[in-house]
């Protein structure tokens, strides 16, 4: 296997599943080239794949998980996105079946798309050294920051234009009422007392929902920075509204690397580095 294959398997071990188009955007120059390589890896048992109809029923893309060979290479892979089982899967096929049947599969794909878009941005000709230094899954971040009780959908560290910004992602699909979405910020306030002060990114499905969230947060003192944006293909771009910019800065949008971020005490991380 080439280094690109191992990088892909590491993502599948951490994040359960990726679509063929997500894999292509993260690692390949075209979808066709990605599909050819994925077909080879599937035949070798390195990855599993299964069809997943989208909401529009316009296509049935393949989703990929670790196959038996991939699981041998990454035996500590996360097993169950819904945490319904107390035991580890007996084999790679059972693990793949759990993931395929997961009630959170669509949510996982949405979260992973956010980070894949960041990875894709680092591959653009004008990337100028932009890097996704860290991408942790919900399970990984939850384990590391268990003392605070946060359960982010993902945690990352983004570096661009000589700025390094850590963040926690809350990927909203419009399925929860807004007070419940805002209530998640309480755990982040606890983390701010002893850990890093990374912005909480509320990634929202519509402009109207974003406006409603901003109204709820108007005048609210959040120890952890909070920024909102609407689902789109460029989360690194000028799409983020920082709640502390309101109301005087209404309409101002910041780039991801422009958000405030304090690494603080490196509790639960590898001291001296941010690329683990």
Whole-model pTM: value is: 0.92
Q: Are 79 and 102 in contact (CB under 8 A)?
A: no
pLDDT in tens, 73-104: 999 999 989 888 788 888 999 999 999 889 89
80 and 19 in a common domain: yes
194 and 59 in a common domain: no
Rounded Cα distance between 172 and 149, Å, is: 19
46 and 165 in a common domain: no
Query: What is the span of the domain harbouring residue 50?
Result: 3-103
240 and 116 in a common domain: yes
Is 267 within a domain?
no
153 and 79 in a common domain: no
Helix runs in 2-135, H state only = 3-15, 20-27, 31-43, 68-73, 92-100, 105-122
41 and 56 in a common domain: yes
What pLDDT sits at residue 274? 33
Tell which residue, 271, 228, 244, 263, has the closest CA to residue 157: 263
DSSP annotation of 271 reads: T
114 and 85 in a common domain: no
pLDDT in tens, 32-61: 999 999 999 999 999 999 987 665 555 667
The rounded mean pLDDT for the chain is 90
238 and 127 in a common domain: yes
Q: Are 60 and 20 in contact (CB under 8 A)?
A: no
Query: What value, to the nearest 5°, has the Cα angle with vertex 141 and ends 19 and 96?
Result: 35
């Amino acid at each position: 296997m080439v280094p690109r294959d191992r990088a892909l398997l590491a993502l599948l071990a951490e994040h359960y599943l990726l679509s063929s188009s997500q894999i292509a955007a993260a690692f390949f120059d075209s979808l066709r080239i990605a599909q050819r390589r994925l077909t080879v890896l599937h035949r070798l048992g390195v990855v599993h794949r299964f069809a997943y109809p989208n909401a529009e029923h316009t296509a049935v893309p393949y989703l990929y998980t670790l196959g038996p060979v991939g699981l041998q290479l990454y035996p500590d892979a996360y097993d169950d996105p819904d945490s319904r089982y107390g035991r580890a899967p007996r084999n790679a096929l059972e693990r793949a079946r759990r993931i395929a049947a997961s009630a959170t599969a669509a949510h996982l794909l949405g979260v992973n798309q956010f980070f894949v878009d960041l990875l894709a941005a680092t591959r653009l000709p004008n990337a100028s050294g932009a890097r996704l230094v860290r991408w942790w899954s919900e399970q990984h971040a939850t384990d590391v920051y268990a003392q605070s009780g946060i359960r982010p959908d993902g945690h990352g560290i983004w570096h661009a234009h000589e700025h390094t910004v850590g963040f926690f992602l809350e990927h909203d699909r419009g399925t929860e009422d807004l007070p419940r979405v805002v209530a998640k910020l309480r755990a982040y306030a606890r983390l701010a007392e002893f850990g890093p002060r990374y912005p909480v990114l509320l990634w929202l499905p519509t402009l109207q929902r974003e406006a409603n969230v901003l109204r709820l947060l108007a005048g609210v003192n959040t120890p952890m920075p909070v920024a909102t944006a609407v689902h789109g293909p460029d989360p690194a771009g000028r799409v983020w509204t920082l709640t502390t910019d309101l109301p005087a800065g209404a309409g101002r949008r910041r780039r991801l690397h422009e958000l405030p971020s304090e690494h603080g005490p490196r509790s639960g991380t590898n001291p001296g580095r941010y690329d683990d």
